């Protein structure tokens, strides 16, 4: 197994003996020097300079998505500082330490899975081991993968050792979820952030591997499209791209074709995605639903189909907005058809499509069945005649408004009339309705003998003359009280202020109905106000001094 991984580091060649078992492409072409790490040049240069200048940190934290080279970089760093010629930025790959570390058999380089060794006891055992000197190598290196899976107690047990480790001990942590690593751990490490690998870099790496793999054949006419499909499927992960290429090679018996790639990964060809986009823009609901049914029966992954459609809409938006054409990576035939679709739709329409598709991905994450969510989105996009162009909707609204105005429908609407206001006494807040149900006898005992006055809202009102100017009592017929306590157009003759300048206490009339009839006879304009009072009191089940106003 060691001979399998030994080769020329400069040329990047790997020799394989015939009696060795098959090794997957992801393991066979794993980087062995810093220069072979794809898409992480800033990390490689930082570590190489640190080694060359003798500034190697006691602990590193490698953060980034899956399959971007975190663990491979940790192994290369361990080889670089333990190489016979080192510490050196370029490990030889031939000495015993380089070979043992590459094979995973070196006793001084320990790889720990944080997901399965996350207890406090595991960390305590590690703390006891770090006190021993390295067995043979220059440094003892602990590589803890998925370090975010450690428990809180395990992290706390590791703090002191991490802050003051022994001289010949180095820690390298790797995680895909750095937000779950405590800040106290991060502050004791040098953090290296790995980014997703670009599709162009993945394609270049795959082409280099295919050139050195004579057992894998691929037609030149399909090579570009097949590798682009694999790179897009990998979503920035070099390991996922190599695993996919390995699977396609096994499916085609050593031959790679675009159709095999699409079948294996559950993708659809570009023509099917273009058909979906064209159907959305033209409002062909029935055809779109039939297409979805055909994709499901064909075993296609609808989530992948949605991602392909999102990518296509993104390309259409760039072209419609006048962006650089270099950002749209399409074949000549795909580009011609996409240009035709883009010319027939508006930018607002494409933006609306992208927003609905973005909401579609959120619905899928919430647990909604993928097929139902996709069909619902397609119906929503086509229900209003082609993706709901906002400009077209405004024209429809204006047209409907004109039709209503011409037909005279607006004149048939009922005329708005002001609601009659219930008369109040003084400038006071209306008490809660529950107080109106209080016992009249209690209020009569508290009231002093005075003129009879209807106690509709307040039992007692005393207002001094010194309040601000302005009307204090308003009714629907214009009854008001002046600042001097005089009334204008009032129905009540005995409401003058007393010698202290305040409105006297009032008591309810003995016969409310008779009093109302008398008031209506004196001023017929109060009919609407009385009707409103009756309706209010009847609806709230309120009686005036025990006599229902019905």
Biggest alpha carbon–alpha carbon distance for the chain? 123
Long-range contacts of the stretch 99-106 (C-beta < 8 A, 24+): 99/2, 99/5, 99/6, 100/2, 101/75, 102/2, 102/5, 102/6, 102/32, 102/75, 103/1, 103/2, 103/5, 106/82, 106/137
Q: Is residue 412 very low, low, confident or very high in pLDDT (cuts 50, 70, 90)? A: low
pLDDT score for 334 = 82
Looking at mean pLDDT, say which of 218-222, 342-346, 544-548 comes out highest.
342-346
The reported pLDDT for the residue numbered 195 is 92
Say if residue 55 is in the same domain as residue 79: yes
Are 175 and 288 in a shared domain? no
Residue 180 shares a structural domain with residue 136? yes
Which pLDDT score is estimated for 493? 44
For range 210-228, the mean pLDDT: 87
What gap in Å lies between CA 172 and CA 174, rounded to an integer? Answer: 7
CATH number of the domain within which 231 lies? 1.10.8.60
Q: What is the CATH number of the domain that holds 331?
A: 1.20.272.10
Q: Quick one: 208 and 152 in the same domain?
A: no
Q: What is the mean pLDDT of the chain?
A: 76
Res. 4 pLDDT band, cuts 50 70 90? very low
Q: Which residue has the higher pLDDT, 171 or 492?
A: 171
pLDDT for the residue 169: 92
**Residues 349, 321 contacting (CB under 8 angstroms):** no
Residues 535 and 472 in one domain: yes
CA pair distance 229, 270, nearest whole angstrom: 10
Q: Is pLDDT at 518 greater than 50 in this prediction?
A: yes
Question: Is the backbone peptide bond immediately before 87 cis, with ω within 30 degrees of 0?
Answer: yes
When pLDDT is averaged across residues 430-455 and rounded to a whole number, the result is 46
**Residue 4 vs residue 313, higher pLDDT:** 313
- The pair of structure tokens assigned to 495 is 């409401």
Both 239 and 165 in one domain: the answer is no
Higher-pLDDT residue of 459, 222: 222
pLDDT of residue 181: 93
Higher pLDDT residue, 519 or 148? 148
Same domain, residue pair 155 and 54: yes
Q: What is the count of structural domains for the chain?
A: 4
Structure tokens at 114: 């944080």
How far apart (Å, rounded) are the C-alpha atoms in residues 451 and 11?
114
Going by C-alpha positions, the residue among 546, 469, 434, 456 that lies closest to residue 506 is 456
> Model confidence at 42, in pLDDT bands (50, 70, 90)?
very high
Residue 517 lies in domain:
433-548
339: left (phi over 0), alpha (psi -120 to 50) or beta: alpha
Check residue 517 and report its DSSP letter. H
Model pLDDT for residues 68-121, shown as the tens digit of each residue = 999 999 999 999 999 998 789 999 888 999 999 988 888 899 999 888 888 888
Secondary structure (3-state) at 225: helix
Whether 37 is in a domain gets the answer yes
Q: Cα separation of 314 and 44, whole Å?
A: 33
Tell me the range of 38-52, 258-272, 313-327, 451-465 where mean pLDDT is highest.
Answer: 38-52
């Amino acid at each position: 197994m060691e001979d399998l991984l030994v080769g020329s580091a400069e040329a990047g060649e790997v020799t394989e003996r015939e009696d060795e078992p098959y090794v997957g492409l992801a393991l066979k072409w794993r980087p062995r020097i810093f220069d072979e790490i794809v898409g992480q040049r800033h990390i490689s240069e930082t570590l190489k300079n640190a080694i060359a200048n003798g500034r190697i940190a006691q602990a590193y934290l490698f953060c980034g998505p899956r399959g971007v080279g975190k663990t491979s970089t940790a192994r290369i760093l361990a080889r670089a500082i333990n190489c016979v010629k080192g510490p050196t930025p370029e490990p030889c790959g031939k000495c015993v330490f380089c070979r043992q570390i590459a094979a995973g058999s070196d006793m001084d380089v320990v790889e720990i899975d944080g997901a399965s060794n996350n207890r406090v006891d595991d960390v305590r055992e590690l703390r006891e081991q770090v006190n021993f000197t390295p067995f043979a190598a220059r440094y003892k290196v602990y590589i803890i993968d998925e370090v975010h899976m450690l428990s809180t107690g395990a992290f706390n047990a590791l703090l002191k050792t991490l802050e003051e480790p022994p001289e010949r001990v180095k820690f390298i942590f790797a995680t895909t979820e750095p937000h779950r690593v405590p800040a106290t751990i991060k502050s004791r490490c040098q953090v290296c952030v790995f980014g997703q690998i670009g599709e162009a870099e993945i394609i270049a790496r795959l082409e280099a591997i295919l050139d050195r793999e004579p057992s894998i054949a691929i037609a030149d006419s399909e090579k570009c499209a097949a590798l682009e499909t694999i790179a897009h499927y990998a979503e920035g992960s070099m390991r996922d791209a190599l695993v996919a290429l390995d699977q396609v090679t096994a499916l085609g018996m050593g031959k790679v074709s675009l159709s095999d790639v699409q079948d294996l990964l559950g993708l659809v060809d570009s023509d099917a995605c273009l058909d979906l986009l064209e159907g959305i823009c033209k409002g062909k609901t029935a055809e779109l639903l039939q297409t979805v049914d055909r994709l499901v029966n064909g075993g296609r992954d609808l989530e992948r189909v949605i991602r392909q459609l999102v990518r296509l809409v993104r390309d259409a938006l760039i072209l419609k907005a006048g962006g650089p054409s270099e950002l749209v990576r399409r074949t000549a035939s795909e580009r011609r058809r996409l240009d035709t679709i883009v010319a027939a739709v508006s930018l607002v329409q494409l933006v609306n499509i992208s927003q609905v598709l973005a909401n579609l991905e959120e619905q899928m994450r919430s647990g909604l069945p993928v097929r139902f969510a996709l069909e619902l989105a397609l119906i929503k996009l086509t229900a209003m005649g082609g993706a709901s162009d906002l400009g077209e909707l405004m024209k429809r609204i204006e047209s409907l408004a004109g039709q209503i105005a011409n037909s005279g429908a607006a004149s048939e609407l009922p005329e708005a009339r002001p609601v009659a206001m219930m008369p109040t006494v003084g400038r006071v807040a209306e008490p809660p309705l529950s107080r109106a149900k209080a016992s009249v006898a209690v209020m009569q005992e508290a009231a002093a003998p005075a003129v009879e006055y209807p106690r509709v809202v307040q039992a007692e009102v005393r207002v001094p003359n010194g309040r601000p100017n302005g009307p204090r009592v308003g009714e629907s017929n214009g009854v008001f009280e002046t600042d001097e306590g005089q009334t204008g157009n009032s129905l009540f003759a005995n409401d003058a202020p007393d010698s202290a300048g305040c409105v006297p206490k009032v008591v309810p009339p003995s016969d409310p109905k008779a009093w109302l009839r008398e008031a209506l006879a004196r001023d017929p304009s109060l009919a609407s106000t009385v009707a409103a009072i009756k309706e209010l009191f009847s609806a709230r089940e309120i009686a005036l001094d025990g006599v229902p106003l019905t």
